[in-house]
Each structure stands twice: as C-alpha cells, then as structure tokens.
Amino acid sequence: MKPINRNLLKAAVLCIGIQDISAGAATPALGVIIAAFPHINPSIVMMITTIPSLCMVLFSPFYAKLTEILNKKTILRIAIVLFMIGGVAPAFLNNIWWILASRFVFGIAIGFVFPMVIGLGMGLTLPSITAKTTSLVPPATSTFAVSMVTTFMGIGAFVETFFLNLIQCQQVKKKQLETSLK
C-alpha cells in the first residue's frame, strides 16, 4: 500500500470541514425567501438558518455511538449523501415545511461530519499529543469527548443564529408595518 501524503490528507480533512460552514450560506437569501412566502411568519422562514445548528447539537452525541457500529469512511459517505440531499433539495421545493425538513437533513449530516473533522484534525496536526492521550484514554471516550465539544459548539451556534434571526425578524416586521402605514 502506498504511503499517504500527510499534507494531502490535511487538505482533504479541511475540505470536509469547510462544508460545515455552509450551514449559514442561506442567511443572505432570507429576505428573498421571506418575500417568496409572505403568508408565513418570518420567524418560521428564518428557521432555515437555525435548524442545521440545532441538528448539529442533537446529532453530534450520536456520532460516538455510531463509530462503534460503523467505520468513519461509511459514516462520512452517509453524511455526504445526507448533506447533498439536504443542501440541494430546497432549490426544488416550493413548500416552506419541506424546505425546513431538508434543512433538518442537512443538519444531521453536519452533526455527523463536524465531530469527525475535529477528531481527524487533532490526529493529523497533533500526532504526538494524540498518541499520548489515546494510550491513556479509550478511543470511545475520546470520540465521545469530541462529540460533546461539538455539541456545545452547536449550542453556541444555535443561540447565536436564533438571536440574530430574532433581531432580523423584528426589522422585517418593522419594515412591513411601515409599508402598511404608507
């Protein structure tokens, strides 16, 4: 078997991790989406950006248990399929509830990938530290710890997104009120 180029492997892990950032990619389009669904409360439409963070919080702890059943490559494949389905489906949907459901699927994928990226990144960038700690701590415990860190990060992202959406919702309502008074 050919040895793996560590720099190429680091780049691959980074590329996998970049997809987690895309959860907030829908934020700039919220104004257009709210206009497309005038009969829906803007706070419900803004859940498009909140749901992936919430799912990351809910599904990251399951990653540790899932690694006991499946290998990381299989989990990554499943996550990428879910990521593609949840990311592309809203472009073809006209119902806000189906769009929110697809964002939920998208969030599940992020909840599985994010702890994996943290674990792989630690193993690649800090091999001497990782070797010392894995000899002291069972692998399931370290995977669980990464999952919990991801969960707390997801809680922070959810709270941040929720309050930013709340502020934006208030601004939208204010504009709607000003428009209706004119």
pTM for the full predicted model: 0.63
pLDDT at 18 over 80: no
Digit-coded pLDDT (tens) for 101-147: 999 999 888 888 877 777 666 666 555 554 554 444 445 445 566 66
Helix axes 139-181, 96-125, angle to 10 degrees: 140
- Who has greater pLDDT, 78 or 15? 78
In sign, the C-alpha dihedral spanning 64, 68, 73, 75 is negative
